[in-house]
Chain A
Amino acid sequence: MMEKMIFGRYVPADSLVHKMDPRSKLTIIFLFVCVIFLANNWQTYAIIGIYTFFMIGLSRIPARFLYGGLKPVLWLVIFTFLLQIFFTREGTVLFHLGPLKIYEEGMKMGFYISFRFFFLILMTSLLTLTTTPIEITDGLETLLGPLKKVRFPVHEMALMMSISLRFIPTLMQETDKIMKAQIARGVEFASGPVKERIKAIIPLLIPLFVSSFKRAEELAIAMEARGYRGGEGRTKYRQLSWKMVDTLQLVFLAIITVLLILFRS
């Protein structure tokens, strides 16, 4: 189950989208989320759709993988659709479904909103599928850079994110180890009444907390020993490079936006 989920997963590939600067990708996603609300008829939704699938094509993420990963979300999209057609009561009645009347407007809204939702999911998954978490962190740090002026702790936030990313696999391994040790001492995590199962989490959580605190303390000492004293005067090793593709992609999105404005009703 978890293996198939694609949210937050990075899939390495050699594509144009993978090579893009995280700053441009983040900006495009942000703009896309705004621009998508311009669509209000089938022409404009078609434009958004073409744009989305064009980007997916560019990313070289296998369609099968994408489909498999998004299957659970599709149910949500369908649910949104049903919600709209059953609860919108405007326009002419198209047909009766038992005691329910399906209206024209409801049908339209159902399609539009579920498609909007679907495209948004596709585009945001595309971001995490083609960008490593650490790139996203770097991108955010630079984009939010100006906020430092209003004392927003941008560097600290980015460091926090990257350290969390670094330690997720370590903590997963540790969780597995502690779980096994407690199972060997007779704990049952997967069966028994709910109350028992909640109680069973304590022998897992407490050791995990204790060791995380210990790790945090040791890490802080190690960081200090290597001369860490806050963001002031630090240089950066990871470099982001804005390339021609990035500019072109932004121009492309601008053209899409113009088209949307022209074709919307």
Chain B
Amino acid sequence: MDISLSHVDYRYQANTPFERLAIQDVSIDIPSGTYLAIIGHTGSGKSTVLQHLNALLVPSEGTVAIGDKEIKAHQKNKDLRKVRQRVGIVFQFPEHQLFEETVEKDIIFGPMNFGVTEADAKKRARVALKQVGLAEEILEKSPFDLSGGQMRRVAIAGVLAMEPDVIVLDEPTAGLDPRGRKEIMDMFYQLHQERQLSTILVTHSMEDAARYADQIVIMQHGKVAKKGTPEEIFSSPGELVQMGLDVPEVVRFQLKLEEKWGMNFEQIYLSIEQLSSAFANKLKRGVRL
């Protein structure tokens, strides 16, 4: 399912003295099957963009197209639920949304709200639980008796069980330890490939953006500052640094090497192996570095 934002503005508390323009003239195309990373500082407008992706916010100006549904400013937009069923959002600290007595009830809550029968929803719950790497025994437990990491996975399973075509992730690994972080990110990537989902990841982590995304959008002061493939984005690291953003560690290291030697590599490398072999080659060829 394609999503596109065209010339979207959003104002918080419009027509009050507290009015604030959160995003301005934002246009982003997300063709079906894309893995898009949205990067920016806290307050850059990236979470406002995120909330437009399943009509939690309706634009103050401009149009958001989600599949064949168009959500326009200045008009009554009906049937937003249909959109929400197809776009699942995993919010930051999703475990805060758990509320049911058992894990199973919590996972089937979303699907059943969207009209899936209980029997079907329960089937889906089992599938989703497996996807997030939890055992079925957990289904009858109270979500509040689980560890923080397990709660996170249950909450994610609740979104997966809705079987959305698009998954929106808002810092899904915040607060997890390195292993948990890697497992969750890999799991989403696998789902993305197997089910041909569109995935939109809002993150601070340049590493994750470089590793998983095929498109990157950089937000700054409520506007799209830059968009392109990871190679394009990171090929001019100076710009990112100027915006006060990080670059991936490998890129940062390459820049340090280049500075020390007063030379340039042919390109920006996004993996450790590429960089080390490029460096070793230069040494072997005895090129004056």
Contact = CB atoms under 8 A, between A and B. Distances in A.
Direct contact, A vs B (beta carbon within 8 Å): yes
Interface of A: 3, 174, 177-178, 180-188, 202-203, 206-207, 210-211
Interface in B64-118: 81, 84-85, 88-89, 91, 94, 96-99, 109-110, 113-114
Contacts of A203: 97, 99, 109
Contacts of A186: 81, 84-85, 110, 113-114, 162
A206 B100 CA distance: 8
A142 to B, nearest CB: 33
Contact of A206 (B99, B110, B158): B99
Contacts of A187: 113
A243 to B, nearest CB: 31
Given A3-B16, A203-B109, A183 B84 contact: yes
Nearest to B161: A185
A51 to B, nearest CB: 30
Contact of B56 (A174, A180, A202): A180
B144 interface: yes
B81 A184 contact: no
A181 B97 contact: yes
Interface string B120-138: 0000000000000000000
B84 A178 contact: no
A181 B110 contact: no
* Interface hub of B13, B96, B97, B158 (most chain A Cβ within 10 A): B97
Indicate the size class of the contact surface on chain B.
20 to 34
B271 interface: no
B99 A207 contact: yes
Given A180-B51, A183-B56, A184-B56, A207 B98 contact: yes
B220 interface: no
12 contacts: A177-B96, A184-B84, A185-B109, A185-B159, A185-B162, A186-B84, A186-B110, A186-B114, A186-B162, A203-B99, A210-B99, A210-B144
Interface string B10-25: 0001001010000000
B34 interface: no
**Leading 7 A-B pairs by shortest Cβ distance:** A186-B113, A206-B99, A185-B110, A181-B97, A184-B89, A3-B16, A186-B114
B254 interface: no
A3 B113 CA distance: 32
Interface of B: 13, 16, 18, 51, 54, 56, 81, 84-85, 88-89, 91, 94, 96-99, 109-110, 113-114, 144, 158-159, 162
A202 B16 CA distance: 31
Given A3-B13, A210-B98, 11 more contacts: A177-B91, A178-B96, A181-B96, A184-B56, A185-B109, A185-B110, A185-B159, A186-B81, A186-B162, A203-B109, A207-B96
B91 A181 contact: yes
A203 B98 CA distance: 8
Contacts of B88: 184
A182 B18 contact: no
Contacts of B16: 3
A182 B84 contact: no
Contacts of B109: 185, 203
* Interface hub of A184, A186, A188 (most chain B Cβ within 10 A): A184
Contacts of A202: 99
A211 B84 contact: no
Nearest to A203: B99
A202 B89 CA distance: 20
Contacts of B97: 178, 181-182, 185, 203, 207
A211 B144 CA distance: 11
Nearest to A184: B89
Contacts of B94: 181
Contacts of B51: 180
Given A206-B99, A207-B96, A207-B99, A181 B89 contact: yes
Nearest to B109: A185
Contacts of B162: 185-186
Contacts of A174: 96
Contacts of B91: 177, 180-181, 184
A188 B91 CA distance: 18
Contacts of B144: 210
B64 to A, nearest CB: 15
Contacts of A207: 96-99
A203 B159 CA distance: 15
Nearest to A182: B97
A180 B84 CA distance: 11
A135 to B, nearest CB: 23
Nearest to B93: A177
A188 B13 CA distance: 21
A177 B96 CA distance: 9
A97 to B, nearest CB: 41
Nearest to B51: A180
A203 B106 CA distance: 10
B182 to A, nearest CB: 24
Nearest to B17: A3
A83 to B, nearest CB: 34
